Chain A
Amino acid sequence: MSFSTLVAMLGPAVGVALALALGVMGLGFLVLWKRAERYAVMPMALAAGFVAGYAKLFDLPAKWDDEIWKWVVVSAVVAGVLLTIGNLLPRKFEWLAWVVMAVGVSCLTGRRIREDSGYYMAALGGGLVLYLAAYWPVARDARLRRVWPVMMLMCGVAAVALVMPFELNHGRMFFVLTALAGLSVAAGFLRPIGRMVAGGGVFPAVIFAVLTTTAAFYMVPDTYPRSVFFWLGAAPLGAGVAWVPWLKRRPWRCAIAATAVAGALLVPAIVIAINNAPPMDV
Chain B
Amino acid sequence: MKLWQTVAALVVVAGGALAMGDTYGVDPVHSSAVFRIKHMGATYLYGRINGPEGTVVYDAAKPEASSFDVTLKADNIDTGNKMRDGDLKGPNYFNAKEFSTLTFKSTSVKKADATHLDVTGDLTIHGVTKSVTVSIEHTGDGKNMKGTTVSGFETTFTINRSDFGMKEMQGVGNEVKIMVALEGDKK
B-binding residues in A (CB < 8 A): 5, 9, 59, 67-69, 112, 115, 165-170, 217-220, 222-224, 278-282
Contacts A9-B170, A68-B98, A168-B168; A218 near B83 (Cβ below 8 A): no
Q: Is the CB of A168 within 8 A of B97?
A: no
B167: chain A residues at CB < 8 Å are 59
B97: chain A residues at CB < 8 Å are 115, 217-218
Residue of A with least CB distance to B97: A218
Tell whether B101 is near chain A: CB-to-CB under 8 Å.
Answer: no
Contacts A67-B98, A167-B92; A220 near B81 (Cβ below 8 A): no
Residue of B with least CB distance to A58: B167
Bound form: Cα–Cα A140–B99 in Å: 43
Q: Which of B85, B89, B91, B170 has the most CB of A within 10 A?
A: B91
Q: Is the CB of A220 within 8 A of B95?
A: no
Q: Is the CB of A282 within 8 A of B87?
A: yes
Contacts A115-B97, A167-B90, A218-B90; A223 near B83 (Cβ below 8 A): yes
B residues contacting the other copy or chain, number (CB 8 A) = 18
Contacts A59-B167, A115-B97, A168-B168; A69 near B91 (Cβ below 8 A): yes
Q: Is the CB of B81 within 8 A of A281?
A: yes
**8 nearest A-B residue pairs (beta carbon):** A223-B86, A220-B86, A278-B82, A278-B83, A169-B92, A167-B90, A282-B84, A69-B91
Residue of A with least CB distance to B99: A67
Bound form: Cα–Cα A68–B97 in Å: 10
12 A-B pairs in the complex with CB atoms less than 8 angstroms apart: A59-B167, A68-B91, A112-B98, A115-B97, A167-B87, A169-B91, A170-B91, A218-B97, A219-B86, A220-B89, A220-B90, A279-B82
Q: Is the CB of B86 within 8 A of A222?
A: yes
B174 to chain A, nearest CB (A): 16
Q: Is the CB of A279 within 8 A of B83?
A: yes
Partner of A222, one of B85, B95, B170: B85
Bound form: Cα–Cα A217–B95 in Å: 11
Residue of B with least CB distance to A112: B98
Q: Is the CB of A282 within 8 A of B90?
A: no
Q: Is the CB of B82 within 8 A of A168?
A: no
Q: 1/0 per residue B156-187: CB within 8 Å of A? A: 00000000000110100000000000000000
Partner of B91, one of A5, A218, A280, A281: A218
A-binding residues in B (CB < 8 A): 81-87, 89-92, 95-98, 167-168, 170
Q: Is the CB of B82 within 8 A of A222?
A: yes
B95: chain A residues at CB < 8 Å are 67, 218
B103 to chain A, nearest CB (A): 18
A278: chain B residues at CB < 8 Å are 81-83, 86
B83: chain A residues at CB < 8 Å are 165-166, 223, 278-280, 282
Bound form: Cα–Cα A168–B167 in Å: 12
Q: Which of A69, A217, A224, A279 has the most CB of B within 10 A?
A: A69
Further 11 A-B residue pairs, CB within 8 A, beyond A169-B91, A224-B86, A282-B81: A68-B91, A112-B98, A165-B83, A166-B83, A166-B86, A167-B91, A169-B90, A278-B83, A279-B83, A282-B83, A282-B87
Residue of B with least CB distance to A65: B127
Bound form: Cα–Cα A112–B98 in Å: 9
B84: chain A residues at CB < 8 Å are 282
Q: Is the CB of A168 within 8 A of B86?
A: no
Q: Is the CB of B92 within 8 A of A168?
A: yes
B94 to chain A, nearest CB (A): 11
A165: chain B residues at CB < 8 Å are 83
Bound form: Cα–Cα A68–B6 in Å: 56
